[in-house]
Structure 1
Amino acid sequence: MSFEYAGATVEIVDAATILAAARVNPVELLRRAVFPAPVSGAELTVTSADTGSGPVHVFVAEIRADGADGPSKERLRAIVLGNVPVGPLLAKRIAAGDVVTTRIVDEVGAAALAAYRKLGLDRPAGPAAEREPGAVLADAAAGMQATVGYEREGVVRLRAEVARDEVRPEHLEAMVRLMLHAVVELLGPEAGERPLAGRRYLVSRETIPRVATTTQTVTLDQVGGLADLVAELRQIAVSFRHPEAMARWGARRPQGILMYGPPGTGKTMLSRALANEIGADFREVRTPEILDKWLGGSERNIKQIFRDARRYREPTLILFDEFDSIISYAGSGGDAASQAINAVAGIFKQEMNDLIEANPNVIVVATTNFPHRVDDSLIRSGRFDVKISVPRPDEASRAEIFRKMIAQLVAVYEEPGFTMFADGVDVAELARLSHGMTGADIKEVLRRVQLAKAMQDARTGGMVGPISQDELRASITELSTQR
Structure 2
Amino acid sequence: MTDASFARPHTETFEHGGATVDLIDAATVLAAARANPVELLRRADWPDPVQRVDLTVDGTGGSEHVFIARIVALADTEQRMRALVLGRDPLGLLLSRRIAAGDEVVTRIVDGVGTAAAAAYRRLGLEKPVEREPGLLADAAAGIEATVTWTDDGSVARLESRVPRDEVGVTHLRAFVTLTLQAVTELSGAGSLAGRHYVVSRENLPRNPATTQSVTLDMVGGLADVVAELRQIAVSFRHPEAMARWGARRPQGLLMYGPPGTGKTMLSRALANEIGADFREIRTPEILDKWLGGSERNIKQIFREARGYRTPTLILFDEFDSIVSYAGAGGDAASQALNAVAGIFKQEMNDLIEENPNVIVVATTNFPHRVDESLIRSGRFDVKISVPKPDEHARAEIFRKMIRALISAHERPGFRMFADDLDPPVLGVAATGMTGADIKEVLRRVQLAKAMQEARGGPAGPITQDDLLTAVRNLRGGPATTP
Instruction: Please indicate the TM-score interval, normalised by the length of the shorter structure.
Output: 0.5 to 0.7
> Is the 2:315–2:360 contact (alpha carbons within 8 Å) kept by the matching residues of 1?
yes
> Is the 2:281–2:315 contact (alpha carbons within 8 Å) kept by the matching residues of 1?
yes
Post-superposition Cα deviations, 1:181-223, rounded to whole Å, max 9, x if no partner, equal 859x99xxxxxxxxxxxxxx99666522211101111000000
1:1-16 alignment, distance < 5 Å: none
Alignment gaps of 5+ in structure 2: 1-10, 23-40, 54-72, 81-99, 116-154, 160-178
Supply the AA of the counterpart residue of 2:255.
L
The answer on 1:317 being equivalent to 2:317 is no
1:216-235 alignment, distance < 5 Å: 216-235=213-232
Distance 1:418 1:265 in 2: 32
Q: After TM superposition, give the deviation of residue 34 of structure 1 in Å.
A: 4.5
Which of the pair has more CA radius of gyration? 1
Match for residue 348 of structure 1 among 340, 345, 350: 345
Q: After TM superposition, give the deviation of residue 40 of structure 1 in Å.
A: 10
The corresponding residue for 2:370 is 373
Q: Secondary structure at the match of 1:460?
A: coil
Q: After TM superposition, give the deviation of residue 340 of structure 1 in Å.
A: 1.4
The answer on 1:334 being equivalent to 2:340 is no
Supply the AA of the counterpart residue of 1:335.
D
The corresponding residue for 2:69 is none
Supply the AA of the counterpart residue of 1:411.
S
Q: After TM superposition, give the deviation of residue 45 of structure 1 in Å.
A: 9.0
Q: After TM superposition, give the deviation of residue 39 of structure 1 in Å.
A: 8.4
The answer on 1:392 being equivalent to 2:389 is yes
Q: Secondary structure at the match of 2:456?
A: helix
Match for residue 473 of structure 1 among 462, 469, 472: 469
Q: After TM superposition, give the deviation of residue 226 of structure 1 in Å.
A: 0.4
Distance 1:139 1:57 in 2: 7
The corresponding residue for 1:65 is none
The corresponding residue for 1:6 is none
Distance 1:46 1:329 in 2: 41
Q: Secondary structure at the match of 2:419?
A: coil
The corresponding residue for 2:436 is 439
Alignment gaps of 5+ in structure 1: 1-30, 50-55, 60-137, 146-158, 187-200
1:184-333 alignment, distance < 5 Å: 206-333=203-330
Q: After TM superposition, give the deviation of residue 32 of structure 1 in Å.
A: 3.7
Supply the AA of the counterpart residue of 2:320.
F
Distance 1:434 1:45 in 2: 32
Distance 2:415 2:200 in 1: 31
Q: Secondary structure at the match of 1:340?
A: helix
Task: Report the CA distance shift for 1:404/1:458 in structure 2 as closer, same or farther (over 3 A).
Answer: same
- Name the % identity: 69
Q: Secondary structure at the match of 1:250?
A: coil
The corresponding residue for 2:460 is 464
Q: Secondary structure at the match of 1:396?
A: helix
Q: After TM superposition, give the deviation of residue 334 of structure 1 in Å.
A: 2.4
Match for residue 454 of structure 1 among 451, 456, 472: 451
Q: After TM superposition, give the deviation of residue 471 of structure 1 in Å.
A: 0.7
The corresponding residue for 1:482 is 478
Distance 1:39 1:297 in 2: 59
The corresponding residue for 1:14 is none
Aligned residues: 340
Supply the AA of the counterpart residue of 2:474.
E
**TM-score after normalising by structure 2:** 0.63
Distance 1:361 1:139 in 2: 20
> Is the 1:144–1:174 contact (alpha carbons within 8 Å) kept by the matching residues of 2?
no
Match for residue 403 of structure 1 among 397, 400, 404: 400
Q: Secondary structure at the match of 1:299?
A: helix
Supply the AA of the counterpart residue of 2:466.
D
Distance 1:45 1:219 in 2: 10
The corresponding residue for 1:419 is 416
